[in-house]
């Protein structure tokens, strides 16, 4: 077991990343030391029975405070968030949950002198004006989606709490995350997960972005490793603590279909772009994650072929 002082709280613990992160933290630190917080969605039995489970609306400070005090929380992984496609339809809610919710967490962490806070940023902080072939770590950020604006605000708030109060806040700019345990909900990169379930269930998928749509992606085991490795790194080594670029691979929707067809030759896919195409077109094709590689030895283990093979064994 790695060293740990006090307990950990994971908000958004029922979500795509939160559910697997909670289980990874429970394996590392013991089930009773990791409090999983959901909101509306019911937890799986595994999540509910492997440690404390609570309900928190992150927009309500008092609800967070009560849990932080009751369980003597020292570290928060704040994974609760509204994703891009839902955020575009409900911009006010996206701001309220993603920006106000994050501010509540930071303020509670500051007031109680917590040791560490993790915040999930996203490649959505970039807008279409960046060099899309390889988005630099450090450049002007002009997101065009409400989701991206909330993530940029999250990074700015994190920097503010680091510089003004010395709070240890760390974050990753996640690309699309592909996983088999908990489906994502309401994101633009969801097609890269849905395709596997459709391939197994019916042999056909109707994809909501164009075949030539290229986006940065990452397989869940790499996502969890990146998150934990960033949190383990000495803070003084981190030049960009509030939001490091990370990616595992980058492919077009058409390349993903071909990679699946190598294993399931009968699989077919049609491409019928909807409003999520506009969101995808505003994001980079690849992220330059050399700062993460340099500062805390980030190195992905899964490329497209390895990820597809593993996913098809699991779904
Ligand atoms: C989404 O598609 O909204 C997310 C993200 C890239 O942050 N997966």
Ligand 1 contact, 218 CB (< 6 A) = no
pLDDT tens for each residue of 156-201: 999 999 999 999 999 999 999 999 999 988 999 999 999 999 999 9
Please state the rounded mean pLDDT for residues 254-276. 98
- Nearest ligand 1 atom to the CA of 188 is 2
Tell me the mean pLDDT in the region 66-84: 98
How many angstroms from the chain centroid is the CA of residue 150? 14
Matching residue, tokens 């030539």: 212
- Cα of first residue to Cα of last residue in the chain, in angstroms, is 30
Q: Predicted confidence band at 5 (pLDDT cuts at 50, 70, 90)?
A: low
Ligand 1 centre to CA of 187 (Å) is 5
Name residue 244's beta-bridge partners: 172
Distance CA 153, CA 136 (A): 18
Mean pLDDT of 270-294: 98
Kindly state the average pLDDT of the residues 272-298: 98
Q: Write the residue with the smallest CA distance to atom 4 of ligand 1.
A: 187
Give dist(CA 25, CA 10) in Å, integer. Answer: 9
Q: How far is the CA of 82 from the centre of ligand 1 (A)?
A: 9
How far, in Å, are 55, 218, 222, 225, 252 from residue 301 at the CA level?
Answer: 34, 10, 7, 10, 19
Query: 226 CB less than 6 Å from ligand 1?
Result: no
Q: What is residue 6's predicted lDDT score, i.e. its pLDDT?
A: 76
Closest CA to 87 of 284, 282, 287: 282
Residues 6+ apart with CB under 8 A from 164: none
CB distance 35 to ligand 1 below 6 Å: no
148 lines ligand 1 (CB under 6 A): no
Kindly state if the Cβ of 83 falls inside 6 Å of ligand 1.
yes
Say which CATH topology domain 7-176+218-245 has. Rossmann fold (3.40.50)
Residue 147 known to be catalytic: yes
Mutate which of 81, 82, 150, 177 to test ligand 1's pocket (most atoms within 8 Å of Cβ)? 177
pLDDT at 1: 39
Task: Determine the Cα–Cα distance for residues 204 and 223; give it in Å rounded to an integer.
Answer: 28
What atom in ligand 1 is closest to the CA of residue 184? Answer: 8
| pLDDT tens-digit map of 220-252 | 999 999 999 999 999 999 999 999 999 999 999
Indicate if the pLDDT at residue 3 is higher than 90. no
Handedness of CA 164, 125, 40, 218 (dihedral sign): negative
- Pocket flag, ligand 1, residue 102 (CB < 6 Å): no
- The alpha carbon of 25 and the centre of ligand 1 are apart by a number of angstroms equal to 23
Band of pLDDT at residue 76, cut at 50, 70 and 90: very high
Question: What integer pLDDT is reported at residue 221 of this predicted model?
Answer: 98
Fold of 179-217+249-285+302-314: UDP-galactose 4-epimerase; domain 1 (3.90.25)
Phi, psi of 107 (to 5 degrees): -65, -40
Task: Give the per-residue pLDDT at 4.
Answer: 58
Mean pLDDT over all residues of the chain? 97
- Rounded to whole angstroms, how far apart are CA atoms 140 and 262? 40
Residue whose pair of structure tokens reads 């002007």 in the numeric block? 140
Ligand 1: atom nearest CA of 123 is 6
Q: Would you kindly state where each structural domain of the chain is located, as residue ranges?
A: 7-176+218-245, 179-217+249-285+302-314
Ligand 1 center–CA 74 separation, angstroms: 28
């Amino acid at each position: 077991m790695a060293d740990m002082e006090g307990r950990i709280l994971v908000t958004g613990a029922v979500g795509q990343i939160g559910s697997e992160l909670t289980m990874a933290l429970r394996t590392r630190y013991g089930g009773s030391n990791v409090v999983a917080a959901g909101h509306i969605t019911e937890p799986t039995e595994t999540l509910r029975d492997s440690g404390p489970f609570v309900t928190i609306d992150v927009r309500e400070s008092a609800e967070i405070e009560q849990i932080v005090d009751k369980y003597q929380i020292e570290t928060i992984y704040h994974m609760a968030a509204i994703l891009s496609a839902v955020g575009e339809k409900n911009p006010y809610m996206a701001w309220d949950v993603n920006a106000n919710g994050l501010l509540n967490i930071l303020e509670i962490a500051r007031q109680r002198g917590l040791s560490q806070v993790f915040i999930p940023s996203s490649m959505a902080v970039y807008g279409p004006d960046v060099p899309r072939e390889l988005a630099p770590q450090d450049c002007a950020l002009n997101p065009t989606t409400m989701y991206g604006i909330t993530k940029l605000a999250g990074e700015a708030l994190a920097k503010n709490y680091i510089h003004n109060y010395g709070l240890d806040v760390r974050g990753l700019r996640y690309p699309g995350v592909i996983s088999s345990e908990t489906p994502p909900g309401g994101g633009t990169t969801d097609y890269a997960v849905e395709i596997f379930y459709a391939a197994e269930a019916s042999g056909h998928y109707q994809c909501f972005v164009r075949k030539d749509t290229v986006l940065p992606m990452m397989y869940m085991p790499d996502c969890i490793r990146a998150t934990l490795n960033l949190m383990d790194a000495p803070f003084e080594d981190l030049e960009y603590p509030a939001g490091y670029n990370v990616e595992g691979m980058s492919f077009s929707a058409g390349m993903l279909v071909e990679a699946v067809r190598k294993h399931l030759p009968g699989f077919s896919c049609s491409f019928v772009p909807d409003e999520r195409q506009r969101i995808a077109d505003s994001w980079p094709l690849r992220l330059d994650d050399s700062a993460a590689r340099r500062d805390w030895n980030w190195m992905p283990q899964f490329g497209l072929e390895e990820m597809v093979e593993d996913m098809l064994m699991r779904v």
